């Protein structure tokens, strides 16, 4: 799966009805591609805002820690550039 295919299937990733085979393909691409990983996290946050009343609200401190962890992870991934995507 490449980035174009990933983005084409991105909405399916958040759909509970999506087949687990496609879901694992998407997760595999995300593990290797920091760009798509960030995209998914941004999209997820946006969806959380829309579904706010259906989701358990994370305390702000935990949310901030999670975002920092993601940023650190992305920075590390960028250092590993040169890997073929
Ligand atoms: Zn990608």
Per-residue pLDDT at 73: 80
User: Beta partners for 83?
Assistant: 81
User: Rounded to whole angstroms, how far apart are CA atoms 36 and 51?
Assistant: 22
CA-derived radius of gyration, the chain: 14
Q: Which two tokens stand for residue 40?
A: 């998914």
For residue 26, how far is its CA from the centre of ligand 1 (angstroms)? Answer: 9
User: Rounded to whole angstroms, how far apart are CA atoms 36 and 30?
Assistant: 6
Per-residue pLDDT at 74: 78
Predicted TM-score (pTM) of the model is: 0.55
For residue 73, how far is its CA from the centre of ligand 1 (angstroms)? Answer: 15
**In the chain, count of helices (H) and strands (E)?**
5, 0
For residue 38, how far is its CA from the centre of ligand 1 (angstroms)? Answer: 10
Query: In 10 A of CB 9, how many CB atoms?
Result: 17
Q: Taking ligand 1, which is a single-atom ion, which protein residues have CB atoms under 5 Å away? A: 3, 6, 33, 36
For residue 58, how far is its CA from the centre of ligand 1 (angstroms)? Answer: 28
Q: What is the pLDDT of residues 17-67, one digit of tens each?
A: 889 999 999 999 999 999 999 989 888 887 777 666 655 556 677 677 777
């Amino acid at each position: 799966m490449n980035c174009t295919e990933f983005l084409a299937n991105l909405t399916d990733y958040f759909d509970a009805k999506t087949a687990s085979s496609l879901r694992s393909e998407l997760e595999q691409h995300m593990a290797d591609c920091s760009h798509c990983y960030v995209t998914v996290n941004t999209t997820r946050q946006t969806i959380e805002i829309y579904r706010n009343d259906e989701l358990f609200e994370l305390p702000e401190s935990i949310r901030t820690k999670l975002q920092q962890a993601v940023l650190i992870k992305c920075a590390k991934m960028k250092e590993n550039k040169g890997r073929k995507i």
